[in-house]
Amino acid sequence: MVKAVTRNISVSVETSFLENDSDPEQQYFVWAYRITIENTGKETVQLLNRYWQITDAQGRGQEVRGAGVVGEQPVLAPGESYTYSSGTPLNTASGFMRGSYHMKNKAGEDFDIEVPAFSLDSPHDAPQLH
């Protein structure tokens, strides 16, 4: 698991390779990731948008932007957490992701929090430091 903390909001990420959804012979590899966002601060915040940079083992990248996460824009009061799962495919047996969430507090202040870089490794490739 990897973790980053920005403005008293922690983002933890766990990944798993989905062998049954992947097809290595066709260069199609799929991962699930589970993210927990925890508000350890003193202000209520809402996640409005997400931004992802997804990079495969050959350095090819794509950016993904959108409203919320998995169709939701969760509000987190102090001490609350929110967990969701999603996934991503690649055409290589490894890669990595990193990103940010655009947040707003009750006072109307906008800010971004870091989603730490995390590796997408499969048993079809030697583990690499990204």
The residue type of 5 is V
pLDDT at 31: 98
pTM of the model: 0.92
Mean pLDDT of the chain: 95
Report whether pLDDT(127) > 80: no
What domains sit in the chain, N to C, each tagged with a CATH number? 2-121 (2.60.40.1470)
Q: What is the pLDDT of residues 46-93, one digit of tens each?
A: 999 999 999 999 999 999 999 999 999 999 999 999 999 999 999 999
Distance between CA atoms of residues 79 and 71, nearest Å: 23
Report whether pLDDT(22) > 70: yes
SS3 18: coil
pLDDT at 43: 96
Taking the alpha carbons of 85, 21, 95, 28 in that order, is the dihedral positive or negative?
Answer: negative
SS3 124: coil
Q: What are phi and psi of 43, to 5 degrees?
A: -125, 145
